[in-house]
Copies of this chain bind each other. A is one copy, B any other.
Amino acid sequence: MSNSTSKTAITPRRDEDFPEWYQQVIRAAELAEPSDVRGCMVIRPWGYGIWENMQRQLDGMFRATGHRNAYFPLFIPLSYFAKEAEHVEGFAKECAVVTHTRLEADADGKLKPGSPLSEPLVVRPTSETIIGASYAKWVQSYRDLPILINQWANVVRWEMRPRLFLRTTEFLWQEGHTVHETESEARGETRLILDLYERFVRDHLAIPVFTGAKSESEKFPGAVETLTLEAMVQDRKAIQAGTSHFLGQNFARASGIQFQNREGKQEFGWTTSWGMTTRLVGTLVMMHGDDDGLVLPPRIAPTQIVILPITAKEETRAAVFEACDKLAMGLRDSRYADFPVEVLVDRRDLGGGVKNWEWIKKGVPLRVEIGPRDLEKNAVEISRRDQAVKSKESMPMEEFVVRAPEILRSVQDTLHARAKKFRDENTRVIDSKEDFYDFFTPKNPEKPELHGGFALAHWNGSREIEERIKNDLKVTIRVIPLDDSSEPGKCIFTGEPSQRRVVWAKSY
């Protein structure tokens, strides 16, 4: 917690131990912490504030495209869950099961589960089957379609190797579930959501992604096709940022979602589902964080600007506080139309250095100091979180009030450009098996993170090759670019023909 040039606020640094750095950033920023319930986390106010902003922004985009929110039960009867064979196979190992109601005291007065349920209930790992049961009732005719509904909810997937935000037994998400009259309309919805997600992560989270389809072995259990967004974080691994599934008629058949079509015939509906989760908070940390802690894109930060009064001298204290409040009021009154500007004056009696470092570690985009000398000049000292922690710019207070949204937008753009540059520098077109194995093999066993990235290579489309590469290198196909990216070539592993390069990487 020193601001000397040799030391950083987070120990270890990213290049020393990336996984441990990640944990330490989350702790230092007070985003979340593990709970005593295996695999479950507590999301603290600063972390939850980021999630709330994601919710608000995504929710607005869903509404603008005709979706409405609803809420379905947490519990799924075992018999519902079992209706779609691939689905149950995919999730069986991760289910938490409610078998009893009531607690009773045993002979020693120790509490134990009381009354067994006649049918066990699965705590939803995803809601296709329970929502399908409602849709089957709501849909009678093509006139009832489309159904465009989203749910904000918690879900549970038992996790053996939990990691804060990235893999937790309970997590928060949104899950969209739609029903359509035709296959092409449902495929169109799947694609519309993929594009919406891409805009969201690009414009709000400053995250560039590759988009496309998952291979057969990586798609959602029960889906016909899974579209995905894949981001590269700073250890060059991929993180799946969201998925949009075309479910064909599989779940409609399982749940009995049938309608009378325009020709008067009964037909199964065409469904989709799509989701983004609290994993995005972890993605943000790994994407933009630095050796001094979290770095938040301004559009998603719970607070964009923190004002720090420098009150070392008792005699100027009141005047400094007054100037800080005046600045905060000026910023709030401006009600900038096109950029969120939440302002906080940190009046705590803690010492300027301690407070400054706290906000650095929390990733606040702009820190503004006002001290006695600034008062004389009617100026402020601005520090941008995307620049070196010691760099400051002095600016007349009135100018800052006018320019604040522009400066925040510049921070936002810098983070996106930096992330894109990093990704592009670590994405390689690879045309031989030898180069491929070399690319993904650590050069320095002490620092395994200093290798790899995204490899764009041709592939014959077979599951066997995927399996072999996964076993050899822990590398998988993250995304198969969509149709508009055709580039015929030859599989680098077998020499067989290939329609396009696919994206390979290690992943979270």
Which A residues contact B (CB, under 8 angstroms)? Answer: 33, 35-37, 40-45, 48-49, 51-52, 68-78, 80-82, 88, 92-104, 111-114, 120-123, 130, 133-134, 137, 149, 153-154, 156, 158, 170, 172
- Residue pair B149, A75 in contact (C-beta under 8 Å): no
- Residue pair A75, B170 in contact (C-beta under 8 Å): yes
CB neighbours (8 Å) of A43 from chain B are 70-72
User: Cα distance A73–B159 when bound, in Å?
Assistant: 14
User: Cα distance A73–B123 when bound, in Å?
Assistant: 13
CB neighbours (8 Å) of A172 from chain B are 71
User: Cα distance A360–B74 when bound, in Å?
Assistant: 32
CB neighbours (8 Å) of A104 from chain B are 92
User: Cα distance A74–B42 when bound, in Å?
Assistant: 10
- Residue pair B113, A120 in contact (C-beta under 8 Å): yes
Query: Which residue in B37, B77, B97, B111 is a CB contact (below 8 Å) of A99?
Result: B97
Offer 6 A-B interface pairs, CB within 8 angstroms, sorted by A. A36-B80, A42-B72, A45-B69, A71-B172, A92-B104, A96-B121
Query: Which residue in B49, B51, B73, B156 is a CB contact (below 8 Å) of A41?
Result: B73
CB neighbours (8 Å) of A71 from chain B are 42-43, 48, 51, 172
A72-B102 contact in complex given A112-B120, A113-B97, C-beta closer than 8 Å: no
CB neighbours (8 Å) of A154 from chain B are 74, 153-154
CB neighbours (8 Å) of A69 from chain B are 45, 48-49, 52
User: Cα distance A77–B169 when bound, in Å?
Assistant: 14
- Residue pair B102, A158 in contact (C-beta under 8 Å): yes
User: Cα distance A195–B433 when bound, in Å?
Assistant: 70
Q: Please name the 6 residue pairs, one residue from A and one from B, whose CB atoms are nearest each other, closest first.
A: A40-B73, A45-B68, A43-B71, A92-B103, A97-B100, A97-B113
Residue of B nearest to A100 (CB): B97
User: Cα distance A401–B137 when bound, in Å?
Assistant: 40
- Residue pair B134, A111 in contact (C-beta under 8 Å): no
Q: A88-B103, A95-B102 are in contact. List 15 more A-B contacts (CB 8 A).
A: A35-B133, A37-B121, A37-B130, A48-B68, A51-B71, A71-B172, A75-B96, A92-B103, A92-B111, A94-B102, A97-B100, A97-B102, A97-B113, A97-B114, A99-B100
Query: Which residue in B35, B48, B122, B153 is a CB contact (below 8 Å) of A134?
Result: B35
CB neighbours (8 Å) of A96 from chain B are 75, 98, 100-101, 121
Residue of B nearest to A101 (CB): B158
CB neighbours (8 Å) of A45 from chain B are 68-70, 149
A88 CB to nearest B CB, Å: 7
A241 CB to nearest B CB, Å: 20
CB neighbours (8 Å) of A77 from chain B are 36-37
User: Cα distance A386–B111 when bound, in Å?
Assistant: 53
User: Cα distance A151–B86 when bound, in Å?
Assistant: 35
A170-B102 contact in complex given A35-B130, A111-B78, A113-B97, C-beta closer than 8 Å: no
A217 CB to nearest B CB, Å: 21
User: Cα distance A461–B43 when bound, in Å?
Assistant: 43
A73-B103 contact in complex given A112-B120, A120-B113, C-beta closer than 8 Å: no
- Residue pair B48, A70 in contact (C-beta under 8 Å): yes
User: Cα distance A130–B43 when bound, in Å?
Assistant: 13
Query: Which residue in B88, B112, B134 is a CB contact (below 8 Å) of A42?
Result: B134
CB neighbours (8 Å) of A80 from chain B are 36
Residue of B nearest to A302 (CB): B68
Residue of B nearest to A155 (CB): B74
Most B Cβ at <10 Å: residue of A73, A78, A134: A73
User: Cα distance A156–B44 when bound, in Å?
Assistant: 23
- Residue pair A93, B102 in contact (C-beta under 8 Å): yes
Residue of B nearest to A78 (CB): B111
User: Cα distance A71–B52 when bound, in Å?
Assistant: 11
- Residue pair A37, B76 in contact (C-beta under 8 Å): yes
CB neighbours (8 Å) of A36 from chain B are 77, 80, 133
- Residue pair B97, A123 in contact (C-beta under 8 Å): no
- Residue pair A134, B95 in contact (C-beta under 8 Å): no
User: Cα distance A353–B41 when bound, in Å?
Assistant: 52
A306 CB to nearest B CB, Å: 15
CB neighbours (8 Å) of A123 from chain B are 74, 98, 123
Residue of B nearest to A67 (CB): B45
CB neighbours (8 Å) of A99 from chain B are 97-100, 113
Residue of B nearest to A45 (CB): B68
CB neighbours (8 Å) of A113 from chain B are 97, 99, 120
- Residue pair B130, A111 in contact (C-beta under 8 Å): no
